[in-house]
Amino acid sequence: MKNYSVESLIAKGSFTCECGKTHSAHLKYALICEKAVEKLSQYIEKLGGSKAYVLADENTVKAGKAALDNLEQSGIDYCIYIYESGIEPDDKTVGRAFLNFDYSCDIVFGIGSGVINDICKIVSRTANLPYIIFATAPSMDGFASSTSSVIRDGLKVSVDSKCPDVVIGDLDILCKAPKIMAAAGLGDMLAKYISICEWKIGSIVTGEYYCEEVADIIRFALGKCVENADKILSGNKEAVKSVMEGLVISGIAADYAGVSRPVSGVEHYFSHIWDMRAVEFGTPANLHGIQCGIGTLLAVRCYELLKDFRPDKDYALSQFVNYNKESWLHKISEYLGSAGDVMIKNAVKSKLYNPEYFIKRLDNICNNWNNIIDTVNVELPSSDYISEILKITDAPVTSDEIGIDSGTNALTFKMTKDIRDKYILSALLFDMGVLDNFADKAYNNKIIIKEVGL
């Protein structure tokens, strides 16, 4: 496998790939090393900045104090808006960033990770200003992406925003972040096992675009993270660097593909639904990467059941014809509240329930079943392996550990197919007419009915 470092990918610039696309990344610079903060002002000057609009929260502003010190020592003016800790990336939070925006600023500067980065990317795109993110924790994979994950009208969605021009990760600061943050970053990287697998399956079933080069980039970054996973808890700089670089590389890969396919799949949708319920009903939620790690383990366990199964076309057709869509949409509304209203609107026009598209997908599933199972076998490690990786970073391995009743996992899994029109495991099982059966077996330990092969 090729060596795909952050530096080499940035230096490569635009290139024509064998997949037929011209790939290019919007990230101009990345600096992940010790004492990186000392170079901050240089990058601001490279981007032509003279006054920064700084966004942070109560925790990240403390962790990133050295960044503000560097601005002051370099004579770079700034104004700052500091959120309270624990903010959600929703409409109101984004709005507050604009209400406090200083129009004399000519560059956006974020100090933080997930939520702060998502907000800054929206602000910088709207204001048409360059943007630098100063990472305070290696906790999620959105650092170098061109989208922001936000809660809009109660639904967790990805919206087009601006990729940072510069990502700075000072290892002296990143290694001091709470260990749970690095564990979250690793959890977000483990999710890539699922995303690559499902991207390939989606290409087989729906004919959607797929790029092996982009997939290889993700595999390389993921391999480096797993290789160093046992050193994360000790704050080992090489291990933390591998996670941070992996998260940045993931954003570049998504930029290359032009879609989120290489970096997120059904495991992310577990996390999205937990977040949506937390906003609507005040139920527990945790760090995005922690939830994605648990979601990855849940997904792999269900994929393991798939290996002993063969689709029955007649059975799948009968299940589709008799599917009570109205009853299901009502259940979405009950389970997700107002966020469910948006999902229902999406489901009404979704290709998932369109008979013409369904027949084409089912034919492709039945005709290419061995290829699908080969993909699962090649791309996915065992659930025991995923569990061990999570445990060595002291990350939770069950939803119960983060306050989410595991008895709801089956229903949550079934809900994932309706978040957006992306072909994921729950959609594959729906097409074969066995989604309920697999969900019950994987998450409620019930027996799958014999008529469908298990």
Residues 6 or more apart whose CB falls under 8 angstroms from that of 236 comprise: 175, 228
Q: Which domain holds residue 37?
A: 6-177
Domain count, the chain: 2
pLDDT band at residue 342, thresholds of 50, 70 and 90?
confident
pLDDT tens string 162-189 = 999 999 999 999 999 999 999 999 999 9
Instruction: Tell me, yes or no, whether 12 and 137 share the same domain.
Output: yes
Q: Could you give the percent of the chain with pLDDT greater than 90? A: 88
Give the 3-state secondary structure percentages of the chain, helix then strand then coil, rounded to 5. Answer: 60, 10, 30
pLDDT tens string 109-158 = 999 999 999 999 999 999 999 999 999 999 999 999 888 988 887 777 88
pLDDT band at residue 451, thresholds of 50, 70 and 90?
very low
- For residues 29-48, average pLDDT: 97
> Can you list the positions of beta strands (E) in 249-396?
none
pLDDT band at residue 339, thresholds of 50, 70 and 90?
confident
Q: Pick from 177, 202, 228: which residue ends a domain?
A: 177
The token pair that represents 184 in the structure block: 């979250």
Instruction: Tell me, yes or no, whether 315 and 393 share the same domain.
Output: yes
Instruction: Tell me, yes or no, whether 80 and 195 share the same domain.
Output: no
What CATH number does residue 146 fall under? 3.40.50.1970
- For residues 439-451, average pLDDT: 73
pLDDT, residue 454, reads 46
User: Would 272 be classed as within a structural domain?
Assistant: yes
- Nearest alpha-carbon partner for 278 in 412, 160, 396: 412
pLDDT, residue 449, reads 46
Instruction: Tell me, yes or no, whether 87 and 166 share the same domain.
Output: yes
Burial 388-423 (b: 16+ CB within 10 A, else e): ebbeebebbbebeebebeeebbbebbbbbbbbbebb
pLDDT, residue 447, reads 54
What CATH number does residue 377 fall under? 1.20.1090
In degrees and rounded to multiples of 5, residue 235 shows phi and psi of 75, 20
Angle at 395 between CA 393 and CA 399, to 5 degrees: 165
- For residues 57-86, average pLDDT: 96
Instruction: Tell me, yes or no, whether 163 and 193 share the same domain.
Output: no
